[in-house]
Each structure stands twice: as structure tokens, then as C-alpha cells.
Amino acid sequence: MPNKFYITTPIYYVNDRPHIGHAYCTIVADVVARAHRLMGDEVFFLTGLDEHGQKVQQAAQAKGVPAQEFCDEMAPHWRELWPVLNVSNDDFIRTTEERHKRVVQAILQKLYDAGEIYQGEYEGWYSTRAEQFLTEKEMGPDGKFPAEFGEVIRLREKNYFFKMSQYQDWLIAYIRENPDFVYPDYRRNELLGFLQKPLGDLCISRPKTRLAWGIPLPFDAEHVTYVWFDALTNYVTAAGYGTPQFEKCWPADIHLIGKEILLFHACYWPIMLRAAGIPLPVQVAAHGWWTRDGQKMSKSVGNVVDPVKVVEAWGADALRYYLLRELPVGSDGDWTDSNFARRYNGELANDLGNLVNRSLSMVKRYCNGIVPQPGATEALDSELQTFAAETVKRFADRVAKLELNQLLGDIWELVRKGNQYVDQAAPWALAKDPAKAARLGTVLYHLAESSRIISILLTPFIPTTADKIRAQLGLGQASASLADAGRWGLVPAGQPLGEVAPLFPRKG
């Protein structure tokens, strides 16, 4: 029986336009999902959209359209982006779907019946212009709220609260006893630090008079659900909560998120699940944020990287490679166009492109495009074989630890080893001497095999290129597996190559 593996991204705010930060999160999740498929796991990979709440309601009003219509117009910007980036999600959830509303209401009802939700009063500073409660964060040093909020009044309203505070000690103990629950470890420590302060209960409703665009509470239709309560629940909706499928799919193995939403995922969410008697996700992994040329990306500065433009100029694989290679999952990254071009030309075109292209071009030139029979192996050949086998062996552990840029580093060591092998074995010299034909066969066979193994290891990161390498090797469309990367000799001698062409044309 294959292992199941369930990975999620955050659901993105439908009213935003996708940018490189969203693309990053989804691509990292895609690499992990594809790596698990390569290892034979049965993967369920979820992404989707967060569609309720104040901002969506306001944006729809500003456009003069009903909120649902607004969401329906925006959703394709997201849904259609993922295939462009070669993202292989299995489901795409929208929080306005019926399947989701049902689950949110079922869980709310369950918590209400169990006495986990009570009615209370909320009092705070309310901006009539922004139509929202303000916190101390928004308050200026003079104790006043900035003018953009217009009139700020003291407002009291009836609301529902979730008894979160009673779970605080349990959560602290859980995080301590399960060191892998929050990744990376410095974020876990940050969270434990935060949890030193009392948590308080969570206000989970908004009166309909103030916010209509949300899921009504099943026990009081005059209120809608707080948007994070609604949003987090998407992960169990898509797993089939309330159906037999749920047992097979849940718990999620990884919720991949950005660092700024860790509190919601590693504190509110586990407590919600615990209170509802639902098992916890195995891991919440928080990645860092991208800046551009050292600056925060923002529409007003006009420095936002548009993933579609990058794909048009460089291809999806180049984008995926850069995002994954540049930084470890967890750290912040800084996008610079020059660094992108440097990695493209140096690592993709030169290191990888050259290895495959010169190896296969020599098979064309010296062996009529037919993979030769290998002869006796020498120390140089076995060294390359062993190096490849060791790289394959490290793969699963690297993936389990989310060490994806280090894994790319390992694969690049193998690519460089392959290039050194070409230089040392010098097939062009062997080709000049008919007495060395057997040796030439061995060398070119080793290069074809190394290219095959490298193509498998690269499948999660640069899937289109990986397929191209296999097609150039004349291998069929059969999907690659990590087990095949661990076996030497699967390119059949005597096999004709496909069409050989550069993988990454150099760019200025």
C-alpha cells in the first residue's frame, strides 16, 4: 500500500493579483508533492482561494457587482496561473463552494453543542470609514488613529467566542513534545515565546449588519463566521470531512504557509481541531518572504515581480529552479534580475545544459545516435556510478527535512561530477582511435545513464526539462520513479536517441 501524503498551500485572497510570493509558496508545495509522487506516495495536493470577508465585500461594492460575481471574475486569475507554473495541484478549493459552507457549519455546530462557543460582547475602537475594529497596532504614537480611518468610535457588539484560552497549556505541551510540528525550529521557538502571554478566547463571528459576506453561523443566522475560522477549515473540507474519504486523507502531512500566518496555523487551527475532536496536521512549515533588490514588494513602489512575465521571458522551469535554489525553506529571499540571469546561464545552461547536450551530441556523432553497449568499467566509471547512487540515497531524507535547496545542491554536485567525467574521459580523443571503441562505448553509456538519473532527480523541480532529457534519451513517456533512479543500467544499449537540442539556450 502506498503511503498517503497530503500537502496544502494557504488559500489566497481572491481580491489580490497573484505575485511572486504566492507563486513561491505554491511552487515549493508543488516540488514537495512531486517529490513524494516520485517516491511512490499517493499524493493529494491542495491549493485554493479565500473568498469571504470585508475586503472582498468592499472591493465588490466598489465595482458595483454582487460579491459572488466579483469572486467568480477574480478566481480565474488564480486557477489559470497554476498550470502556467507547472503546478500539479489535485484540487482547487474556493471557500464560497457549497461543500465548504456545509463543513464550516457542521464544525461550528459541533463546537457549539459541545459548549466550546459562547456568546459575549466585544468592545473596541471601530473605524466607520474602514468598517473595521482597530487595534493598538494601528494607533499612532500620539495615541490617535491615523486620519485615513476617519471617525473612530467606541463600539460594543454581541459576538460569539471560541474557548481558545483553555487549550493554551495543552498546545504548549504539544509543541514541545512534537518538535517537528512547527518547521523550521526557529519559528517554533518564536511561537513558544509568543505563547508565554495569555491567549484569550477567539471572537469568531461578525454581525451580519456589519459584514454580510461570510458563512452564517448555523445557530444564529444574524452572524457570519470570522474569516480565519472559515479559511482554515478549507483543509478539512477538501479532505472530505464527513465522508469516508476523510479517514484516508486526513491528517494533512504538511501545511505549507508563509511565516506571517504561523499563529493562525500553529495555534488557532490545532486548537480548533482539538476542540472538534479532529486529529492535528503532522507539520506546519513556514517559509520566508521575498523582497526585490532589498525592498519590500508593493504595488505602489511598482517593484512587484510578476510570475507570468518571468515565465514568458525565461520559462517556468527557470523560475522554479531560481526560487528553490536561492534559499532554504524558512529563510527570506531577495530577488534580483541579475542573480536570476546568473543562475540561469551558469547553472542551467552551462552546468546542466552542457552536460546533457554534449553527452548526447557525442552519442549522435560517434555512435550514430544509438546508445552504445558499455564495456568493462574502470575506476573513473565506478566513481561516477557510486556518486550517482549516493545522491539518490540522500533524496528522501532531504525531502523529509524540506532541505530542498540543499537537495538541488546535491544534484548539482552530481552534474558537476558528470562534467568532470567528460573532461577526464575525453571521449573525443577515444573516438579518434578505433582500438578504443569499447572504452568509448563505456564512457558514453555512463553519460547517458547519468543524464537519465539526473532527469529523475530533477523531476520535482524542473519537470518540463526532466521530461525533455528523457525524450532526448529516447525513453518513453512512462513516469519516472525514484526507485528507477537508484538502479544503474536502465537505458537500454542499442536504443536510438530522440532529437537532441539544447535544454536552456543562453540568454544575454
User: Which residues here bind ligand MSP, judged by CB under 6 A?
Assistant: 10-13, 16, 21-22, 24-25, 50, 231-232, 257-258, 260-261, 289-290, 297
Complex with ligand MSP: residue 216 or 258, whichever CB lies closer: 258
Between vectors from CA 379 to CA 442 and to CA 415, what angle results, nearest 5°?
70
* Cα of 343 vs its chain's centroid, Å: 21
Complex with ligand MSP: residue 335 or 366, whichever CB lies closer: 335
Complex with ligand MSP: residue 100 or 470, whichever CB lies closer: 100
Q: Closest CB to ligand MSP belongs to which residue?
A: 258
CB of 404 to ligand MSP, least distance (A): 15
Residue holding cell 486548537? 271
Give the separation between CA 84 and CA 99, rounded to whole angstroms: 27
Residue from 241, 187, 276, 207 nearest 54 by CA: 207
Complex with ligand MSP: residue 106 or 261, whichever CB lies closer: 261
Are the C-beta atoms of 399 and 426 separated by less than 8 Å? no
CB of 287 to ligand MSP, least distance (A): 7
DSSP 8-state symbol, 305? -
CB of 82 to ligand MSP, least distance (A): 14
Give the C-alpha distances (Å, rounded to integers) separating 150 from 126, 131, 449.
Answer: 10, 10, 68
Complex with ligand MSP: residue 261 or 380, whichever CB lies closer: 261
CB of 492 to ligand MSP, least distance (A): 44
Give the C-alpha distances (Å, rounded to integers) separating 40 from 4, 26, 76, 480, 490.
Answer: 9, 21, 31, 10, 18
Residue from 250, 247, 263, 288 nearest 8 by CA: 250
CB of 335 to ligand MSP, least distance (A): 9
Query: Other C-beta atoms within 10 Å of 429: how many?
Result: 10
Cell digits for 24? 513561491
Query: Other C-beta atoms within 10 Å of 417: how many?
Result: 16
**Segments in 195-268 forming alpha helices (H):** 227-232, 234-238, 244-249, 262-263
H helix or E strand, kind and range, residue 466: helix 463-472
Complex with ligand MSP: residue 86 or 95, whichever CB lies closer: 95
Complex with ligand MSP: residue 16 or 138, whichever CB lies closer: 16
Determine if residue 368 is left, alpha or beta; phi over 0 gives left, psi from -120 to 50 gives alpha, anything else beta: left
Complex with ligand MSP: residue 52 or 452, whichever CB lies closer: 52
CB of 322 to ligand MSP, least distance (A): 14
Cell digits for 334? 531577495
Are the C-beta atoms of 302 and 296 separated by less than 8 Å? no
CB of 496 to ligand MSP, least distance (A): 45
CB of 252 to ligand MSP, least distance (A): 11
Residue holding cell 536517441? 497
Complex with ligand MSP: residue 287 or 439, whichever CB lies closer: 287
CB of 54 to ligand MSP, least distance (A): 13
